[in-house]
Amino acid sequence: MIWSLLLVGALAGWAVLDGMNQGLGATLRQVGRTPGERRTVLTALGPFLLAGEVWLVAAAGVLLAGFHDLERDLLGVAYPLVIALLVTWVLRDAGVWLRSRRPGVRWRASWERVIVVASVALPLSAGALLGTALVWLPPQPSPTARVVVPVLTALSAVAVTRVLGTTFVAVRTSGVLRERATRLAARSLPWSAGLLAASAIAYVVLVPADGPMTAVLPPLVVLAGSGSALVARPALAAGRLHRALGAVVVGGVLPVVAAALALAPVPSPAPTLELVLLACVPVLLAAQAWVRWTFRHPVGPRDAVFY
């Protein structure tokens, strides 16, 4: 039970916290229309880049240490998607780190495009990986399910990260950047909710259920996630940005919980590793809380920049 909670928690943390970074990168050139505005948007990302992706490292560690069968099966059926996820992750980070290393306009514009493309491809590959796990572990008899479910989960991941990223930018910036990000978030919410609902319906219709839990609960959780849009959209319209961010965070977490319920992986860890991981979790959570609290205020052109 502890290992399952750790895996779900780490994956949900990455999906939401790095999902904000992915959505920010994907909409970088839409929210920021001048080099100065784009640098302000990247300044909003600054303290949270490593704090978000550390959750994927934690999830990989838990998977390797505690879920040997799941790791083997996942690499067996989705090795190209795992490679795609890693490559797009590296490219996204390379774009962020290298954009401001030289002053040339062409240099910066090129790396900004790398950030945008990689920030779309990263959730696309992660969503496809999740959908592939749902229909290939174990393999489903329907060829339609093997295609439709991964495609819908991939598109859902892109839409969810777009909502997360634009809402996060709205919270972290002010003025015209906040206005643009809020409008983009409001326009993206229906797409996110619709794709999540379509993924849930496709899963129910195309994937045979092993029992009432796998048949009903995961789709209900995903539908509840899409329902978070009903809270987020009025909050965005009213300027209650933190409330909106909380709602879209719930919408990002619940699909990960749904996937865990559907897959129900069985852990097989070494007993001594439990003590090590349990000792690390409070430190990780405390560090995350400190980063979020320290950099809770909106940024502007006068703030110190690095990217």
Q: What is residue 225's predicted lDDT score, i.e. its pLDDT?
A: 82
Q: What is residue 272's predicted lDDT score, i.e. its pLDDT?
A: 63
Q: What is residue 266's predicted lDDT score, i.e. its pLDDT?
A: 76
CA atoms within 13 A on the CB side of 18: 25
Q: What is residue 113's predicted lDDT score, i.e. its pLDDT?
A: 96
Q: What is residue 110's predicted lDDT score, i.e. its pLDDT?
A: 95
Q: Where are the domains of the chain?
A: 2-294
Domain 2-294 has CATH 1.20.1630: yes
Is 0.95 surpassed by the pTM of this model? no
3-state secondary structure of 239: coil
Separation between Cα atoms, residue 143 and residue 300, nearest integer Å: 51
Sequence-ordered alpha helix ranges (H) in the chain: 2-13, 19-26, 28-31, 35-45, 49-66, 68-98, 105-136, 143-172, 175-206, 212-227, 229-237, 241-263, 271-294
Q: What is residue 270's predicted lDDT score, i.e. its pLDDT?
A: 62
Q: What is residue 213's predicted lDDT score, i.e. its pLDDT?
A: 67
Which residue ranges of the chain lie beneath pLDDT 70? 213, 269-274, 304, 306
Assigned token pair, 279? 């000792």
Q: Please answer whether residues 222 and 200 qualify as being in contact, where contact means their C-beta atoms are separated by less than 8 angstroms.
A: yes
Q: What is residue 227's predicted lDDT score, i.e. its pLDDT?
A: 83
Q: What is residue 195's predicted lDDT score, i.e. its pLDDT?
A: 92
